């Protein structure tokens, strides 16, 4: 029996060369040191690692010496008994020791199985030197990211839409399609931001008006009456010819099934939080500039005049005018010589003169009323509580300071004729003449003896008693005088003389509360301007029939177009978009304006006069409630209901 | 007649030669042709944006926004096609260099086209996500252009006329020598050497690759340990220490090489996957617009 050390080396061509070497002695030592029987140049092997012995020439005992064991069949041990006929594989560091039997000899095969070092291992140059070895593959990442995007932002939102398809209102919480929100909703619609389907009902179908009208019904219906009643074809025909860009957009819209003329075309959403933006002039001018010709060509003739810009292209105002006494109110272009019959007689020129009777009377009331040296407009014309409009003139409040209706004083109380009640005036005067005797002459009083002859014609008795006798019939003369030229009523009113079956009648007074129905004018916003600056005709107006509403020319003294365009020289220009005066939705209210653009009210409140400073009670004493209330008849203004 | 053509041809070859000599890269291709085209496009977009009056304000849904969006989406798809184009060898009019040049400059113009398409309305939604991804792709591409222009010189300096495999081979040689030289050492001393041999020169994650810092470098540790060791065969140990420091130098060169290559390559790991994420997000963006029309 002997140990044979077998070494296998491989040539460069891959051929194996086997060399056998008999080992002397019964005990074989194995280690890194050169003195060992089997010398293994392996740093992982101890200098004296193990001894290999065989007692019977068949069984081999391997014993580790320096405490560092070895592996046999994958287990780490210090000692192993091996039947060489069965064979075994032992591992020392990076080497393998295979024990086998050939004939009588025990073959010890030593091979290096591990690489000398890590760097000696074969590498794939392209992979090892690039990032491919340490990064996940680009293709892999591309798929992962791409699918993630598709799931989160395409499939998720579509699923969210699908799952609430038949639901009226979505529950709160996160819905995947909110990732599609292209911008914050306006404050009015902010609550809908999680419920895309409240407007976007059908996929690939543009938002329809139906979605808007679903909520905007009844009092919430905010559509302009003028525009709502117009057929869509007419609205579309009114639009200006499209430019290049709009043709592109129209092309997009047509190709991708986006009908035109819907609410959302003007009321654009997803344009940022806060209120919807104020309507720029362009929205109006897009249609109204040159619209009448376009509508005529399209077969929808219109009465509407073209308007493009307040500074340069705006039709003349058409105030409501009563062209004859008792006639209907008609919107009439503001030209020279337009008359408006409101039933009153009032020469503005006489009242506004700096000298003359009126001025002197006003001056004599200084201190008692707020009069100056002469009458001013605001002495008679009062503005509403909100300052927007001028109140209709009321006799008791605005005229009676001078035009007193007093006719008698009883115990310090002045009795006045009742304004607005001609029959009562007649009755009062009749009663006055019936109940009150003429003033008794002094000669008729006392204890003085009366001399005969005093009853003769022309003497005091005769005069007095004759007067007493006819006194009641004088009433008719007084009534006639009051209602006739030079009388208190006649001065201001148109009087109808008694006919068969009627008494004296006064023509009803109809003061138009708002001349310009389509535009909004706020007197309060203009209070720094003198009345006559705009109502230029007033100081020279001789008759109440003169229409004193200012025209476009007066407005354009200050107001220019949205972009500052103007036809005349303007000192302090106020840029005026359409929406400054015109309310698209025609609800009769003030045009909406963003808070930042609103005119601030800076006038001191103390400038306002007490409300009833000029109340008629100062003249006549406290009257019975409603005694002098004037019934104000509002003109029936149909146009506001049919499309103002 | 023949001489006329001759002259013309020789002139063409002359131009070509000058180009070759100056090494006209994709950046300066054809006298910055695509830079000029792209710059002109950007200028056109910026000026027309200011001139075009869109109500109520600029956004992606106006006709102008649609136009920019269509151009932008088309550009993105075309730019992506470079990945396909570069794998196809052609010799026809559009050389890969021309294509790359156009890719770089038109890609940069996408910053203006895409951003102006948004009308500067950004938010937390898929639309802005697509924009962000586009910007990330462009920025990573811009990084790529910059490192392609600057790093190859550093890479070349570091190589010192060695190939990559030669660098590795040097380490292998030092490993073999170390293995042999360390044989006389005590087991205590061989352990660090063994650890050094066991160290994979390509080990370390993406962080180590990009920073070039390998804190747990076994070779460095072995150097320290052996320098401090006493007893045993001092001569053999000194030899091992010498070999270790040589190995460390070789490792340093290899690691610097790996770092430069990582810096050159890392942007593609952002550029390419994000491009596909962008295309997915872009699809979602476009479909969402038409879905909720």
Residue B8 resides in a domain = no
ipTM attached to this prediction? 0.86
Whether residues B176 and B282 share a domain: the answer is no
Residues 81..120 of A with a Cβ closer than 8 Å to B: which? 116-120
User: Residues A577-587: what's their mean pLDDT?
Assistant: 75
Evaluate whether residue B21 is within a structural domain. Answer: no
User: In a mutagenesis test of the B interface, which of A31, A66, A119 is the best target, namely the one with the most B β-carbons within 10 Å?
Assistant: A119
3-state SS assignment for residue A194? coil
The residues, ordered by sequence, that sit 6+ positions from A582 with a Cβ below 8 Å of its Cβ are A284, A518, A519, A520, A591
Residues B260 and B283 in one domain: no
Q: Is the predicted pLDDT of residue A427 greater than 50, yes or no?
A: yes
Q: What is the mean pLDDT of residues B161-188?
A: 88
Residue keyed to tokens 């003429």: A438
Q: Is A268 an 8 Å CB contact of chain B?
A: yes
Chain B positions touching A204 (Cβ under 8 A) are: 290-291, 293
Number of domains in chain B: 2
Name every chain A residue with its beta carbon within 8 A of the beta carbon of B290.
204, 256
Same domain, B277 and B146: yes
The helix (H) or strand (E) run that includes residue A8 is strand A3-10
Query: Which band of pLDDT confidence, cut at 50, 70 and 90, is reported for residue B182?
Result: confident
Please work out, in degrees rounded to the nearest 5, the angle formed at the alpha carbon of residue A83 by the alpha carbons of A79 and A89: 65
Q: What is the pLDDT of residue B263?
A: 94
Q: Is residue B14 part of a domain?
A: no
Residue B260 and residue B176 share a domain? yes
Residues of chain B above pLDDT 70, percent: 91
Domain range for residue B126? 29-151+270-291
Assess whether pLDDT exceeds 80 at residue A450: no
Would an 8 Å CB–CB cutoff place B16 in contact with chain A? no
Residues B203, B222: one domain?
Answer: yes
The fraction of chain A above a pLDDT of 90, given in percent, is 4
Same domain, B43 and B117: yes
Report the 10 Å Cβ neighbour count for B288. Answer: 24
Whether the Cβ atoms of residue A632 and residue A419 lie closer than 8 Å to each other = no
Q: Is the model more confident about B8 or about A478?
A: A478
pLDDT at A157: 92
CB A418: neighbour CB atoms within 10 A? 16
A189 has a pLDDT exceeding 80: yes
> pTM for this structure?
0.67
**Contact at CB, A141 and B272, closer than 8 angstroms:** yes
Specify the pLDDT at position A581: 85
Q: Does B140 touch chain A (CB under 8 A)?
A: no
Q: Is residue B10 in a domain? A: no
* B180 close contact with A: CB closer than 8 A: yes
Q: Are A161 and A177 in contact (CB under 8 A)?
A: yes
Considering the domain architecture, whether residues B62 and B202 belong to the same structural domain is answered as no
| DSSP letters for A80-143 | EEEETTT-EEEEETTEEEEEEEETTEEEEEEEE-S-SSGGGS---HHHHSSGGGTS--HHHHHH
Subunit contact A138:B268, Cβ cutoff 8 A? yes
Q: A58-72 burial by CB neighbour count: b if 16+ within 10 A, else e?
A: eebebbbeeebbbeb
Reduce the DSSP state of residue A321 to 3 states and report it: strand
Residue B113 in any domain: the answer is yes
A588 or B292, greater pLDDT: B292
Quick check: B165 and A44 CB within 8 A?
A: no
Greater pLDDT, A626 or A127: A127
Closest-CA residue of A relative to B181 is A43
The verdict on A277 touching B (C-beta cutoff 8 Å) is yes
Q: Considering the domain boundaries, does residue B224 fall inside one?
A: yes
Q: In this structure, what token pair is assigned to residue A435?
A: 């109940």
- Nearest-Å Rg of the Cα atoms of chain A is 56
B36 and B136, same domain (yes or no):
yes
Highest mean pLDDT of the ranges A412-421, B136-145, B165-174: B136-145
**pLDDT the model gives residue A155:** 94
Segment B132-145 mean pLDDT = 96
The pLDDT of B238-258, averaged and rounded, is 92
What pLDDT score was predicted for residue A224? Answer: 60
In contact, A108 and A52? CB cutoff 8 Å? yes
d(CA A62, CA A50): 7
Closest residue, chain A, to B193 (C-alpha): A43
Residues B229 and B125 in one domain: no
pLDDT band at A397 (very low <50, low <70, confident <90, very high): confident
DSSP run (H or E) holding B177: helix B164-181
Whole-angstrom Cα distance, residue A387 to residue A376?
18
What is the chain B residue with the closest CA to A256? B290
Residues of A in contact with B284 (CB under 8 A): 149-150, 153-154, 157
CB B77 within 8 A of CB B6: no
Q: Residue A222 has what pLDDT?
A: 52
Mean pLDDT of all residues in chain A?
Answer: 80
pLDDT of B284 over the 90 cut? yes
Q: How confident is the model at residue B126 (pLDDT cuts 50, 70, 90)?
A: very high
Is A175:A160 a contact under the CB 8 Å cutoff? yes
In three-state secondary structure terms, A330 is strand
For tokens 């919107």, what's the residue? A331
| Residue B157 in domain | no
pLDDT level of residue B188 (50, 70, 90 thresholds): confident
Nearest CB neighbour to A133, from listed B171, B202, B273:
B202
CA distance A300 to A294: 9
Instruction: Give the best-scoring range by mean pLDDT among A406-415, A416-425, A629-638, B255-264.
Output: B255-264
Query: Does pLDDT of B5 surpass 70?
Result: no
Do B237 and B139 belong to one domain? no
- Is the CB of residue B179 less than 8 Å from the CB of residue A118? no
The partner residues of A406 in beta bridges, in order of sequence, read A416
Domains of chain A: 3-120 (2.60.200.20), 181-297 (no CATH)
CB A188, CB A275: distance < 8 Å: yes
Distance CA B201, CA B248 (A): 10
> Mean pLDDT over all residues of chain B?
87
* C-alpha to C-alpha distances, A333 to A277, A314, A561, A586, B65, nearest whole angstrom: 33, 13, 21, 21, 44
A44 closest CB neighbour out of B194, B201, B262? B194
Whether B9 is in a domain gets the answer no
Q: What is the mean pLDDT of residues B233-242?
A: 88
pLDDT above 70: residue A225: no
Which segment of A448-462, B38-52, B108-122 scores lowest on mean pLDDT? A448-462
d(CA B124, CA B122): 7
């Amino acid at each position: 029996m002997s140990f044979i050390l077998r070494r296998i080396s491989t040539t460069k061509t891959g051929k194996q060369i086997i060399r056998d070497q008999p080992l002397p002695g019964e005990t074989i030592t194995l280690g890194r040191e050169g003195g060992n029987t089997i010398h293994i140049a392996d740093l992982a092997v101890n200098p004296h690692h193990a001894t290999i012995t065989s007692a019977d020439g068949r069984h081999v005992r391997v014993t580790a010496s320096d405490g560092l064991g070895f592996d046999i069949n994958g287990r780490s041990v210090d000692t192993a008994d091996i039947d060489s006929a069965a064979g075994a594989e032992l591992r020392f560091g990076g080497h393998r020791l295979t024990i086998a039997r050939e004939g009588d000899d025990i073959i010890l095969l030593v091979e290096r199985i591990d690489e000398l070092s890590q760097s000696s291992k074969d590498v794939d140059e392209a992979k090892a030197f690039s990032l491919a070895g340490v990064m996940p593959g680009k293709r892999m990442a591309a798929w992962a990211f791409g699918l993630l995007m598709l799931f989160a932002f395409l499939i998720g939102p579509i699923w969210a839409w699908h799952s609430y398809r038949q639901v009226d209102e979505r529950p709160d919480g996160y819905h995947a399609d909110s990732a599609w929100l292209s911008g914050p909703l306006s404050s009015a619609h902010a609550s809908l931001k999680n419920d895309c389907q409240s407007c976007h009902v059908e996929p690939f179908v543009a938002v329809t008006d139906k979605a808007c009208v679903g909520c905007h019904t009844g009092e919430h219906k905010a559509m302009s009456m003028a525009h709502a009643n117009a057929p869509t074809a007419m609205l579309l025909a009114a639009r200006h010819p499209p430019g290049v860009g709009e043709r592109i957009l129209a092309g997009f819209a047509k190709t991708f099934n986006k009908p035109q003329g819907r609410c959302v075309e003007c009321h654009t959403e997803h344009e940022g939080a806060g209120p919807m933006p104020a309507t720029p002039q362009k929205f109006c001018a897009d249609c109204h500039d040159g619209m009448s010709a376009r509508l005529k060509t399209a077969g929808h003739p219109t009465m509407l005049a073209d308007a493009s810009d307040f500074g340069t292209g705006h039709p003349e105002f058409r105030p409501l005018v009563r062209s004859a006494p008792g006639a209907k109110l008609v919107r009439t272009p503001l030209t020279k010589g337009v008359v408006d019959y409101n039933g009153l007689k009032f020469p503005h020129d006489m009242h506004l003169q700096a000298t003359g009777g009126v001025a002197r009377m006003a001056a004599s009331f200084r201190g008692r009323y707020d009069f100056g040296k002469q009458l001013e407009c605001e002495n008679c014309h009062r503005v509403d509580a909100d300052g927007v409009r001028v109140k209709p003139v009321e006799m008791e409040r605005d005229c009676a300071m001078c035009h007193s209706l007093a006719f008698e004083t009883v115990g310090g109380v002045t009795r006045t004729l009742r304004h607005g009640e001609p029959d009562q005036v007649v009755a009062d005067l009749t009663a006055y003449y019936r109940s009150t005797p003429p003033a008794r002459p002094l000669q008729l009083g006392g204890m003085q003896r009366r001399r005969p002859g005093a009853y003769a014609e022309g003497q005091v008795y005769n005069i007095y008693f004759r007067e007493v006798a006819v006194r009641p019939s004088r009433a008719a003369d007084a009534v006639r005088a009051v209602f006739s030229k030079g009388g208190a009523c006649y001065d201001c009113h148109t009087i109808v003389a008694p006919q068969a079956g009627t008494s004296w009648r006064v023509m009803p007074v109809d003061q138009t509360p708002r001349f310009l129905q389509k535009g909004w004018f706020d007197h309060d916003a203009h209070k720094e301007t003198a009345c006559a600056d705009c109502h230029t005709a007033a100081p020279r107006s001789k008759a109440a029939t003169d229409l004193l509403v200012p025209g476009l020319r007066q407005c354009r003294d200050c107001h220019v177009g949205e972009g500052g365009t103007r036809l005349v020289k303007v000192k302090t220009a106020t840029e005026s978009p359409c929406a400054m005066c015109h309310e698209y939705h025609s609800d009769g209210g003030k045009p909406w304006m963003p808070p930042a653009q609103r005119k601030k009210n800076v006038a001191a409140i103390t400038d306002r006069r007490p409300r009833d400073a000029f109340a008629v009670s100062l003249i006549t004493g406290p009257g019975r409630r409603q005694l002098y209330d004037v019934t104000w008849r509002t003109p029936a203004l149909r146009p506001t209901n049919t499309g103002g | 007649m023949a001489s006329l053509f001759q002259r013309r041809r020789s002139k063409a070859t002359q131009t070509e030669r000058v180009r070759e000599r100056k090494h006209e890269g994709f950046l300066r291709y054809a006298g910055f042709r695509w830079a000029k085209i792209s710059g002109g496009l950007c200028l056109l977009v910026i000026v027309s944006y200011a001139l075009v009056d869109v109500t109520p304000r600029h956004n992606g849904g106006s006709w102008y926004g649609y136009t920019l969006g269509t151009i932008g989406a088309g550009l993105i798809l075309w730019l992506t096609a470079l990945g396909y184009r570069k794998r196809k060898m052609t010799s026809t009019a559009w050389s890969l260099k021309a294509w790359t040049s156009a890719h770089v400059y038109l890609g940069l113009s996408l910053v203006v086209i895409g951003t102006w398409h948004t009308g500067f309305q950004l938010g937390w939604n898929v639309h802005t996500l697509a924009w962000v991804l586009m910007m990330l792709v462009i920025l990573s591409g811009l990084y790529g252009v910059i490192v392609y222009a600057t790093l190859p010189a550093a890479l070349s300096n570091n190589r010192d006329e060695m190939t990559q495999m030669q660098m590795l081979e040097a380490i292998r040689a030092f490993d073999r020598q170390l293995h042999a030289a360390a044989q006389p050492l005590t087991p205590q001393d061989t352990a660090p050497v063994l650890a050094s041999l066991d160290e994979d020169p390509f080990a370390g994650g993406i962080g180590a690759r990009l920073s070039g810092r390998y804190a747990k470098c076994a070779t460095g540790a072995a150097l320290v340990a052996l320098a401090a060791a006493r007893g045993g065969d001092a001569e053999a140990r000194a030899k091992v220490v010498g070999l270790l420091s040589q190995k460390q130098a070789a490792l340093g060169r290899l690691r610097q090489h790996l770092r430069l290559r990582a810096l050159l390559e890392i942007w593609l790991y952002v550029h390419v996957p994000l491009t596909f994420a962008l295309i997915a997000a872009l699809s979602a963006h476009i479909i969402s617009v038409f879905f909720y029309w």
